[in-house]
Amino acid sequence: MDLQLQGKHVLVTGGSRGIGLACAREFLREGCKVSIAGRDPQRLEQARAALGAGVAAFCADLRDAQAALGVVDGAEARNGPIDILVNSAGAALRTPFDELQPQAWHDAMQSKFFTTIHVMDPVVRRMGARGTGAIVNVVGMGGKVATPTHLPGGAANAALMLASAGLAAAWGPRGVRVNAVNPTLTLTDRLAEGLAADARLRGTTAEDVLRQSEQKMPLGRLAKPEEVAAAVVFLASPRASYISGAILSLDGASTPMVV
């Protein structure tokens, strides 16, 4: 299927690792111009080198609104107006509920919710002024299904889902689509942190938690970053032109629900 993405400019936040990096690769395969943003300069340079010299990379802490605006300005100066924005930056630390302190809730909102909002706000306004654009937010199932090791992060995810749906309704009349995807456990380098938190709560090992998690999945395995990226690329494409305000669960049917 031709996704009609040739020549589109895509900005991927969190594009130096995990799902964000997988998204950047998929958009490149579709013939897009790709810009990525990340916070770790060494990891960002490694990703840029792996993706190819044509990829623009911007190092910034997106918890800072001005830094986020600088990324947007820099990406557009390099590759032209942003046609597609994929927000995959930020992840709240997983912490067993009995270890939580108030700061953890503040940190979760900063690391997941505001890293997305700070980029999405200027981009959606510019898209609206041009009358076209697509945004896909990579959120997480923690915003729908509460787990005792991911309460602050889940709260941030839930807020981001509501913001995504609300902005889709608000900016739809101006030609902008906004969707969100909710991956479950995915085989990225961040997975180890969550497994360790679950292991502390259960009094077992991370390896045992991983094995149990895989056994619970109806498909018998965890998700791969490339599988999440495939859904993101489709939602961002003109082939999904009437899909907006959708919150897509990517959990392999591990949480059967009607939404």
**Contact (CB, 8 A) for 12 and 84:** no
pLDDT band at 104 (very low <50, low <70, confident <90, very high): confident
Asked if the model's pLDDT at residue 192 lies above 70, the reply is: no
Of 7, 8, 25, the C-alpha closest to 16 is 25
For 165, what's the count of Cα atoms within 13 Å in the CB-facing half-sphere? 8
Of 173, 209, 215, 216, the C-alpha closest to 191 is 209
Residue 103 within any structural domain of the chain = yes
Number of domain units in the chain: 1
Asked if the model's pLDDT at residue 106 lies above 80, the reply is: yes
pLDDT band at 16 (very low <50, low <70, confident <90, very high): very high
- In this structure, what token pair is assigned to residue 254? 């591990």
Residue 196 within any structural domain of the chain = no
Residue with tokens 């509501």: 162
Cα(33)–Cα(246) distance, rounded to whole angstroms?
25
Domain that holds residue 69: 9-186+225-250
Which secondary structure element, helix H or strand E, spans residue 78, and what is its range?
helix 65-79
| Most confidently modeled range among 131-135, 197-201, 248-252 | 131-135
pLDDT band at 50 (very low <50, low <70, confident <90, very high): very high
Q: What's the mean pLDDT in 19-42?
A: 97
CATH of the domain at 78: 3.40.50.720
Q: Are strands 176-183 and 133-138 parallel, antiparallel or unpaired?
A: parallel
Cα(219)–Cα(216) distance, rounded to whole angstroms?
9
pLDDT in the model for residue 247: 96
pLDDT in the model for residue 240: 98
**Predicted model pTM:** 0.90
Residue 214 within any structural domain of the chain = no
Residue 154 within any structural domain of the chain = yes
pLDDT tens digits, 151-183: 888 899 999 999 999 999 999 999 999 999 999
Cα dist from 178 to 90, 111, 152, 171, 184, whole Å? 19, 20, 24, 8, 20
pLDDT in the model for residue 201: 65
pLDDT in the model for residue 142: 76
Residue 31 within any structural domain of the chain = yes
Range from 17-31, 61-75, 179-193 carrying the lowest mean pLDDT = 179-193
pLDDT in the model for residue 155: 92
Cα(227)–Cα(172) distance, rounded to whole angstroms?
27
Cα(254)–Cα(220) distance, rounded to whole angstroms?
10
Residue 258 within any structural domain of the chain = no
Q: What's the mean pLDDT in 92-109?
A: 83
pLDDT in the model for residue 193: 67
**Contact (CB, 8 A) for 19 and 88:** yes
Percent of the chain with pLDDT strictly greater than 70:
93
Residue 211 within any structural domain of the chain = no
More confident of the two residues 175 and 187: 175
pLDDT tens digits, 201-242: 677 887 777 677 677 788 888 889 999 999 999 999 999 999
- Share the mean pLDDT of the chain: 90
Residue 200 within any structural domain of the chain = no
